[in-house]
Amino acid sequence: MNVLHSFVNRADRMKTNNNESYVLSANSPADMEEWVKVIRRVILSPFGGGIFGQKLDETMRHERRLDSSGCGTTSTGSRTSSRGSRRQAPIIVENCVEFIRTHGGLSEEGLFRLPGHANEVKELQDSYDMGDRPVFPGTTDVHTVASLLKGYLRELPEPVIPFDQYEPLISSAKLLSANMTDDINDKKIAESQKLFNEQLKLLPQSNFELLRYICRFLDEVQLHSSVNKMDVSNLAMVFGPNIMRSKQEDPMLMMADASYVQEVMKQFISNHKIFFPDNPELNPAAPSIPDVAVD
């Protein structure tokens, strides 16, 4: 079902493909845009659209069905080779990562820190929300694609690290920071990392796999930090708030926890080989996720 909309005097006229027309009125353009996004998500999500603001599990269920039919495509327009294998991240995430890798993004100074072209980001977002799988032109600015990726993560209704894991991970980061200020002791650090690992085991499968995918890619990005100026600390600062946040939208709390959110992301990026097993089919809820050894 196609949904068309045009904005006139804060009224939004939406028309379906069977010529039914609805007029919505909002108090502001921002409210109007939210209405459109919600309605678009309800109507188009069964067809692969409305992914911005859609639950991660819903997106992954649809895209794995798409993969099984052999209909998935990459950012360059080629078909995915996911038939017979299990997709680890949403198509939009894989497409953005692939484009950044293949178009010099790893060497782009300020990658993920500098903003892309807002209009182009919005056009790409709308295209994905309509159920399309746009092919990024080779001339697309990598910062635009990077902004699209961050925007997708930011708009998940529940972040990649769910709300229930926020406080335990912040507490673990505080413990780790306290240990770092004392005499550095490998046992203390390992104990702190074990707490991180215990929370990872509680993540839903799709969340665990997406977090692993992102952290492995960000480790790849930081390997080029001498050129792109994005070391682990900078990447953690940028991605932390997009990956985990408190359910309480309290600016003061966000400021107080900012350094600990950054520390959590630093740990996951720097120690991704410890925290995330190589087996892509591993169920993170199972006890087979290796614990960090404590002497």
CATH of the domain at 106: 1.10.555.10
% of the chain residues with pLDDT over 70: 71
Domain count, the chain: 3
* 176 and 263 fall within a common domain: yes
* 269 and 182 fall within a common domain: yes
Residue 22 · residue 13 · CB < 8 Å: yes
User: CA 26, CA 194: separation in Å to the nearest integer?
Assistant: 49
* pTM across the whole model: 0.78
User: pLDDT higher for 177 or 137?
Assistant: 137
294 is a domain residue: no
* 13 and 57 fall within a common domain: no
* 24 and 56 fall within a common domain: no
90 is a domain residue: yes
* 204 and 270 fall within a common domain: yes
30 is a domain residue: yes
Cβ-based burial of 78 (10 A; exposed 0-12, middle 13-18, buried ≥19): exposed
285 is a domain residue: no
Q: By residue range, what is the domain housing residue 8?
A: 1-47
User: pLDDT higher for 53 or 176?
Assistant: 53
- Closest C-alpha among 63, 60, 29 to residue 209: 60
* 221 and 182 fall within a common domain: yes
Looking at residue 8, what is its pLDDT?
38
Average pLDDT in the chain: 82
| Residue 276 neighbours by CB distance under 10 Å | 23
Residues 204-227: pLDDT tens digits?
A: 999 999 999 999 999 999 999 999
The tokens describing 58, both together, are 């819903």
Residue 247 has pLDDT above 90, yes or no: yes
292 is a domain residue: no
User: CA 268, CA 169: separation in Å to the nearest integer?
Assistant: 11
Residues 256-281: pLDDT tens digits?
A: 999 999 999 999 999 999 999 776 45
287 is a domain residue: no
290 is a domain residue: no
* 173 and 92 fall within a common domain: no
* 38 and 129 fall within a common domain: no
Q: What is the CA radius of gyration of the chain?
A: 20
Q: N- to C-terminal Cα distance for the chain?
A: 59
Average pLDDT over residues 226-248: 97
* 224 and 200 fall within a common domain: yes
* 129 and 226 fall within a common domain: no
* 32 and 60 fall within a common domain: no
282 is a domain residue: no
Residue 165 half-sphere exposure, CB side, CA atoms within 13 Å? 21
User: CA 152, CA 160: separation in Å to the nearest integer?
Assistant: 11
Residue 45 has pLDDT above 60, yes or no: no
* 175 and 94 fall within a common domain: no
3-class DSSP state of 23: strand
User: pLDDT higher for 133 or 261?
Assistant: 261
